[in-house]
């Protein structure tokens, strides 16, 4: 019999299709990995092509004076930074605003064939540091209500450029998708008097069945109601609502857990396509007791179809407990 499970934080149901469940090994990417060149003269993110990108926001330099990480505005931004919030009167049936916002790119390495799964701890910490610096800078602009950091790994995850990079978008609105998650967490808090994510951490540490990694500051686990095979959540142990609240020490813990997790993804699953999303509370919600920022990693091994789009219920053909065991052993 299949099983229907609910995520206690989001209230989303998933169907664990035990009748057609696959083994973790079945999800290892089997096509030969594309051998990317170490340097690609046509790639705008490769050294030597700095002039092809908009002027950088900042970069880190190594001892040899060469850059190791660059942050730039997106050359083809979804949103543009100039202008004021121009929200038409709510009396209009169709509501629209100017596309105000920020869209930035973090070029994570000078090497075209680098991969988050193979970065050193130092390199991973540089990425986390760039996330924090840009997040904390962008939230000082009070036109922006939500700052979302994400990473698309591989063509199957929607990336157009293979050179390793993350993206940051600052939005002038809090989207309903995010509001719904905040509201769900708020309702749990109002019912129980504590944060649903803190409780989830406690449950996962106690049962250990879905645990993948843990250090002094972070935990990584396969959620009880994982929507897709190898969905993984990385959650700070200390309660904090927004990503900007991460401490220096915790940044190191995050870098360590990211490095270990993506090394497991790279070696154990052959570098699958995935999206990484930093889910944070909106700007202004610092210190909020009901929400707890976390990273959601969504591998793209299956294609969502009409049922998922129409109901929001995902049919997962893997057992989170088996996926976690598989990843622990890699």
Residues 246-265 that bind a second copy (CB under 8 A): none
| Residue 208, both tokens | 């250990």
Q: How far is the CB of 171 from a second copy (least distance, A)?
A: 7
Q: How far apart, in Å, do the first and last CA atoms of the chain sit? A: 30
Q: How many residues line the site for a second copy (CB under 8 A)?
A: 75
| Residue 304, both tokens | 């969502």
Residue 220 in contact with a second copy, rule: CB under 8 A: no
Task: Determine contact, residues 118/266, Cβ cutoff 8 Å.
Answer: yes
Toward a second copy, which CB reaches closer, 35 or 309?
309
- Determine the Cα–Cα distance for residues 214 and 143; give it in Å rounded to an integer: 37
Q: How far is the CB of 75 from a second copy (least distance, A)?
A: 10
Residue 305 in contact with a second copy, rule: CB under 8 A: yes
- Determine the Cα–Cα distance for residues 188 and 250; give it in Å rounded to an integer: 26
Toward a second copy, which CB reaches closer, 184 or 242?
184
Sign of the dihedral through C-alpha 184, 188, 194, 197: negative
- Determine the Cα–Cα distance for residues 220 and 254; give it in Å rounded to an integer: 10
Annotated catalytic residue within 112, 163, 165, 292? 165
Q: Which of 102, 163, 279, 294 binds a second copy (CB under 8 A)?
A: 279
Residue 165 designated active-site: yes
Residue 163 in contact with a second copy, rule: CB under 8 A: no
| Residue (of 168, 32, 41, 29) closest to 112 by Cα position | 41
Q: How far is the CB of 176 from a second copy (least distance, A)?
A: 5
Toward a second copy, which CB reaches closer, 35 or 176?
176
Toward a second copy, which CB reaches closer, 46 or 278?
278
Q: Is 80 helix (H, G, I), strand (E, B) or coil?
A: strand
Contact region with a second copy (CB under 8 A), list: 38-46, 238-246, 305-313, 321-329: 305-313
Distances (CA, A) of 48 to 120, 162, 319: 23, 17, 46
Half-sphere exposure of 72 (CA within 13 A, CB side): 21
Q: Which of 67, 298, 325, 330 binds a second copy (CB under 8 A)?
A: 298
Q: How far is the CB of 52 from a second copy (least distance, A)?
A: 17
Q: How far is the CB of 237 from a second copy (least distance, A)?
A: 18
Q: Which residues are catalytic?
A: 165
């Amino acid at each position: 019999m299949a099983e229907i499970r609910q995520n206690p934080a989001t209230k989303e149901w998933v169907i664990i299709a035990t009748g057609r469940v696959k083994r973790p090994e079945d999800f290892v990417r089997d096509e030969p990995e594309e051998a990317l060149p170490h340097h690609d003269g046509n790639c705008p993110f490769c050294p030597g092509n700095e002039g092809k990108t908009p002027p950088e926001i900042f970069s880190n330099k190594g001892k040899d004076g060469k850059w190791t990480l660059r942050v730039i505005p997106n050359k083809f931004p979804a949103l543009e930074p100039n202008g004021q919030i121009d929200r038409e009167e709510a009396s209009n049936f169709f509501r629209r605003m100017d596309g105000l916002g920020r869209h930035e790119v973090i070029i994570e390495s000078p090497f075209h064939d680098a991969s988050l799964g193979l970065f050193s701890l130092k390199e991973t910490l540089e990425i986390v540091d760039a996330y924090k610096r840009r997040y904390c800078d962008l939230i000082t602009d009070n036109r922006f209500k939500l700052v979302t950091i994400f990473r698309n790994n591989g063509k199957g995850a929607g990336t157009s450029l293979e050179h390793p990079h993350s993206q940051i978008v600052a939005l002038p609105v809090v989207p309903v998708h995010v509001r719904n998650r905040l509201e769900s967490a708020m309702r749990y808090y109002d019912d129980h008097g504590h944060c649903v994510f803190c409780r989830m951490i406690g449950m996962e540490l106690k049962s250990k069945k879905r645990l993948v990694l843990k250090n002094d500051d972070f935990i990584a686990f396969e959620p009880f109601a994982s929507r897709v095979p190898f969905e993984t959540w990385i959650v700070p142990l200390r309660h904090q609502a927004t990503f900007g609240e991460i401490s220096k020490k915790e940044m190191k813990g995050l870098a360590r857990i990211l490095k270990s997790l993506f090394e497991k993804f790279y070696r154990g699953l052959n570098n699958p396509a995935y999206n990484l999303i930093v889910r944070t509370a909106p700007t202004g919600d610092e210190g909020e007791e009901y929400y707890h920022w976390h990273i959601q990693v969504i591998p793209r091994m299956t294609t969502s179809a009409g049922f998922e789009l129409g109901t929001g219920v995902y049919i997962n053909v893997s057992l989170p407990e088996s996926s976690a065991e598989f990843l622990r052993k890699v």
